[in-house]
Structure 1
């Protein structure tokens, strides 16, 4: 099966789930915490499936991040004048 067919199958199953939840809500009511939670989870599944469809529709090759060249030259020491050495305390104080 192709990805499109699989996504369509999942969409049909999700539609069936949502219809079943609607019938269940009519019997149990929508006010209970459990029912609201199941409805929220079903809605999250619907949103996730929509995102998955979008991702599958544009099969772009994964892009490699752009490489950034880092110079081997030492940093300017004035950048560190106002900072403390991490974990060692301030320069003019002794560690406990």
Structure 2
């Protein structure tokens, strides 16, 4: 499963938990302290999952790999190039 599928599955479970808590609340009443704590914890989990989804948006495809040949480069490609840190070939390094 992808990350997006996993996060969606967690959100579905939290939805199920919310429905179960609503049914439990109808039996116990909404004055029960422990039930309110569980409902608050479930709300915090929902917020955390939303933040997780925001931090890790839809998966990005992996960049296409580019094969690099083993053959040496043509030396004429570097004919007029400056050497990094040394400057042009006809001048002295600083």
Answering whether residue 14 of structure 2 is matched by residue 4 of structure 1, we say no
Question: After TM superposition, which residue ranges in structure 1, 4 or more long, deviate above 4 angstroms?
Answer: none
Aligned to 1:89: none
Task: Give the secondary-structure state (helix, strand or coil) at the position aligned to 1:53.
Answer: helix
Unpaired stretches in structure 2, ≥5 consecutive residues: 60-94
Label 1:58 to 1:7 Cα distance change in 2 as closer, same or farther (>3 A): closer
Answering whether residue 40 of structure 2 is matched by residue 46 of structure 1, we say no
Unpaired stretches in structure 1, ≥5 consecutive residues: 60-96
Residue 32 of structure 1 deviates from its aligned partner by: 1.4
After TM superposition, the score normalised by the length of structure 2 is: 0.59
After TM superposition, the score normalised by the length of structure 1 is: 0.58
Larger Rg: 2
Higher relative contact order (CA 8 A, sep 6+): 2
Aligned to 1:20: 20
Residue 58 of structure 1 deviates from its aligned partner by: 7.1
Task: Give the secondary-structure state (helix, strand or coil) at the position aligned to 1:31.
Answer: coil
